[in-house]
A and B are shown apart, each in its own frame.
Chain A
Amino acid sequence: MKAEQPRHIGARIQRFEDIRLLSGSARYIDDIRLPDMLHLNFVRAETAHANIVEVDTSGLADLDYPTWVFTGKDTAGLSMKAHQDYPEMQYSEQPLLAEGKVRFVGEPVAVVLAEDAYKAEDAAELVFVDYDPLPVVGTMAQARDPESTPLFEGWNGNVIVQRQMKGGNLEAAKAQAAHVIRRTYRTQRQAGVPMECRGVVASFDTASRVLTVWSSTQMPHLVRTYISEELGLPESRIRVVAPDVGGGFGVKGQVFADEVLVAWLAMQTGRPVKWIEDRREHLIASIHARDHEHTLEAYVSADGRLLGLKADITVDNGAYSTFPFTSAGEPGMVGKVLPGPYDFQAYEATFRAVATNKCAIGTYRGVARPSAVFSQERLVDDIAAELGLDPIEFRLKNVVRQFPYRNVLGFTYDPGSYAEALEKIRELLADDIAEAAASRNSKTRRIGVGIACFIEQTAHGTPDFTRRRVPIETGYIAARVDMSPDAGVTIDLGLQNHGQGLETTMAQVAADALGIEPKDVFVRHGDTMTTPYSVGTWGSRGGPLGGGAVHVAATKIADKLRAIAGHLLQAKPDQIVLAEGKASVRDNPGSFIEIRRLARIAQRNVDQLPEGMTPGLEAHASVDGPADGSYANAVHAAVVEIDVETGKTKLRRFVVVEDCGTILNPLVVDGQVRGGVVQGIGSAMFEHFVYDSECQPLTTSFADYLMPLAPEIPDIEVHHIETPTPLTPLGAKGLGEGGAIGPAAAIANAVANALEIGVTNTPLNTDAVWKLARHIRGQA
């Protein structure tokens, strides 16, 4: 049963978690200190591809303080196994410490531990590694060359996997087409870069045989399961705790080799072990993102209908496969989502992942979709330009309007507002569009407007992962809700909060179900000892699935409260309304009992319970994602002003019209959208992780890896359309990633619009834009 009138869901409530974050009393991974703790420093590969001849640790013997050193020989057999169940896939295990070979600059080769972090760093400098270099595989083309040196023994070339997905009759679409438009688009390699680096602390208690691992992770339960399986310990004796986490964005949404390694070292040394990643390590050796090339061929009718799409997708995966989304996840996602919001029924995608001597690609906000939408929406603008159609008109002509809609690959889209969002953006941008057109006369200053229209499959459920055969296996989120005798509520939540405001939004959900105030709800998360098993916070599932689980569990307690109240007030339970701390009889507000009183009766004065009712107010619920997920949609619009002679591109305006279904808290939703957009602006204009031809990383500090700073960013305007989905308990769709998905496409389209030229690559930094504006300067 739903709450009568949502009072708290949808309210702009300030966040409860803010006080500890603002006052300096939050506790992040680096704030974990244990007695007798050892500090770990990695010795990392300095060459991209080489056989290890020798690791010489003899220099440590001369030190006047104790050190512990471990190499791949000590950890032999322990590894990260991220296998997707595709028979033709070439598997790549990552040893916890390199065994015999290194495959990217930054790969851990040895660890040195000491009682002080500075000393551990000093000591690590005394470990010398002798390498015998191997030929480097540095580009997609090199990796696709069957003659390239395989990164792994037994491999045939360096294509990890190549597969196809298709639907409809592509040949017929092609035959019917009046226009065939073929383009190749490229999105660059990036890093996710939460402001807090990663870190792990582990301690093994010999008395209780309990291993405790603190990690700056988005998925504590999966870390626990992986450690258990790899180290052969029962999960019941492993506790994984994610303390306050300083940003994740998907980067911390994988299980890392170092999480297993630090746990193992704590057991080996008998001392607590702490590792705090430094910024250089984070940039070169946590995970990277994007690095895609897509060749698309669209078949379009004479009257501007999209008939079919053919895609060839390559992702430069780097050396290893990350757990649990694997090296096939990124290109497979592109193949799956390229049909996007458009209504056409012929499609074929060939996708492949290739291995190079670089840091592995992992999940980062948007996961493949910023690249997919960049290509999809650039293609749409290129088609409109070729046909001489207005880009918004072309989209309106082709977007899906009837829901539920079964797309060319068989995925069912729940209701959205694709056309409505386009209409809204056209209205909001009318003046800018006119100004952009007027600037065509200028040879020095151009204005451009670009949009990106996209959908995002959110809240992926178990069926989606089963289809993809990935080791994540499932996607549900669980919550346990407990009301104490004083009517205070504790939620033990399977999600982990690293900035999303879950301690507030989940309290809003429970408060509505139970008729109490959000401030009386305490949300606990991130600790496997207290929270029910769940996959963690990633993939835009917090609101729809976590919120759903809290709602379902809280409703079970509410039902019990209603039953007790009905018994005491001599009314039927379904006549009882829970609101403002009271259980009242519907249409008879004078007849009520305080919820506080009911809570006490349920657990202390149990003799007053209805006959046969067991004491207690505790409930567990888990909510899995719908079979095809729930599709959020948005249109992003960018207005750029380009200095034709310097390439300097000013982002004048950025507007979002988005639909994530039911909004739990507009303050939080707006914040998620805006933060995501600015990360997307980084993808579009600034951020590029660069390797040289020997796969040496060149952007290893914040002086080189450029994230957006405040002066480059305009206010982000956010408008909402609310189309609740029938597929999740509260009607909410996921929204954490959406902000990051559209900006690269919208900004590239704006640049293309301003300069009247096709744009195929990101990032659009000053150099790139200057080159694109060559023809306007009258240069060859």
Chain B
Amino acid sequence: MIEITLEVNGVSKTLQVEPRRLLADVLREEFRLSGVHIGCAHGACGCCTVHLDGTPRLSCLTFAAQCDGASIRTVESVGGPNAENTLQQAFKSEHGLQCGYCTPGFIMTLLPFVEEMVVQKRMPDDAEIREAMSGNICRCTGYHGIVAAVRKAVSTGLEAGA
């Protein structure tokens, strides 16, 4: 067991973990963050994506032990219990989700992409949006609604910044 301190969604906690525990499991079990979903446990579906020091990271390919001192963000912190973030709202209005299992991973993967587009003040084309989500598998929506949601979130961001 080793001692680590994680800052998760703004709250720091020090805990003892076995080195082999995946970050995904520690976030789920020790922090009770059920929005972290495990879809494949081999880095091929994107369901478990969280932000590690601001960057999307597959929490099933990360040992919690590696994250001592790191800041971690999960979907729970993005728009609160009412999912008020622009991208979350766009997923809702554009039907970018059905069963919801892959959804937190998509949100965490695409948030920085949407933010980057707004910073760059441009609307990405569909191919670029699809490439940005190419590490995430959705089995329900056929991606159509997710692409539309990204477009809508970027456009909302551009309007707000204009």
Contacts and interface: CB of A to CB of B under 8 A. Distances in A.
Chain A in direct contact with chain B (Cβ < 8 angstroms): yes
Nearest to A711: B130
Contacts of A679: 139, 142
B41 interface: yes
Given A24-B35, A701-B40, A710-B147, A498 B99 contact: yes
A46 B76 CA distance: 40
Interface residues of A, number: 56
Chain B interface main SS type = loop
Interface stretch (A244-252, A464-472, A641-649): A244-252
Contact of A15 (B36, B95, B102, B134): B95
Nearest to B128: A711
Contacts of B35: 23-26
B48 to A, nearest CB: 11
A679 B147 CA distance: 17
A27 interface: yes
Contacts of B21: 118
Nearest to A18: B92
Interface in A194-221: 194-197
A30 interface: yes
B58 interface: no
Given A19-B83, A278-B41, A246 B137 contact: no
A23 B79 contact: yes
A191 to B, nearest CB: 11
Interface in A652-705: 667-668, 670-671, 674-679, 701-703
A246 B104 CA distance: 12
Contacts of B76: 23-25
A247 B137 CA distance: 12
A279 B95 contact: no
A24 B139 contact: no
B161 interface: no
A195 B101 contact: yes
Contact of B34 (A27, A196, A703, A713): A27
Nearest to A278: B41
A21 B97 contact: yes
A517 B146 CA distance: 28
A678 B141 CA distance: 8
Nearest to A679: B139
A677 B47 CA distance: 22
A705 B20 CA distance: 27
A716 B107 CA distance: 22
B143 interface: yes
Given A18-B91, A194-B139, A715-B126, A26 B100 contact: yes
Contacts of A118: 18, 20-21
Nearest to B22: A118
Nearest to A245: B99
Contacts of B142: 674-679, 708, 713, 716, 739
Interface string A130-165: 000000000000000000000000000000000000
B75 A247 contact: no
Given A23-B82, A24-B104, A711-B130, A18 B97 contact: yes
Contacts of A27: 34
Interface residues of B, number: 59
B59 interface: no
Q: For A23, A193, A709, A715, which residue has the most chain B Cβ atoms within 10 angstroms?
A: A23
B140 A675 contact: yes
B141 A674 contact: yes
B20 A19 contact: no
B42 A703 contact: yes
B101 A247 contact: yes
B42 A279 contact: yes
Contacts of B102: 195, 246
Given A24-B76, A26-B34, A27-B34, A499 B99 contact: yes
Contact of A246 (B95, B99, B134, B146): B99
B82 to A, nearest CB: 6
B55 interface: no
A245 B39 CA distance: 13
Contacts of A244: 99-100
A753 B3 CA distance: 64
A575 interface: no
A703 B92 CA distance: 30
A22 interface: yes
A263 to B, nearest CB: 24
A248 B140 CA distance: 9
Interface string B44-58: 110100000000000
Given A499-B100, A675-B98, A279 B34 contact: no
B37 A196 contact: yes
Interface string B116-128: 0000000000110
A31 interface: yes
Given A249-B139, A702-B45, A710-B147, A18 B83 contact: yes
A24 B81 CA distance: 8
Contacts of B75: 22-24
A416 interface: no
A230 to B, nearest CB: 29
A312 B99 CA distance: 38
A21 B20 contact: no
A500 interface: yes
Contacts of A494: none
A707 interface: yes
Interface string A724-744: 000000000000000100000
A194 B138 CA distance: 9
A95 B16 CA distance: 42
Q: For B101, B136, B137, which residue has the most chain A Cβ atoms within 10 angstroms?
A: B101
A23 B79 CA distance: 7
Contacts of A708: 142
Contact of A707 (B38, B101, B137): B137
A14 interface: yes
B112 to A, nearest CB: 17
A28 interface: yes
Nearest to B142: A678
Contacts of A713: 130, 142-144
B130 A671 contact: no
A21 B18 CA distance: 30
B127 A711 contact: yes
Contact of B80 (A23, A247, A711, A716): A23
Nearest to B146: A710
29 contacts: A14-B92, A17-B100, A21-B99, A22-B100, A24-B35, A26-B35, A27-B34, A30-B28, A194-B101, A195-B101, A195-B140, A196-B37, A244-B99, A244-B100, A245-B99, A246-B100, A247-B98, A247-B99, A249-B139, A278-B41, A501-B98, A671-B98, A678-B141, A678-B142, A702-B45, A710-B143, A713-B143, A715-B147, A716-B142
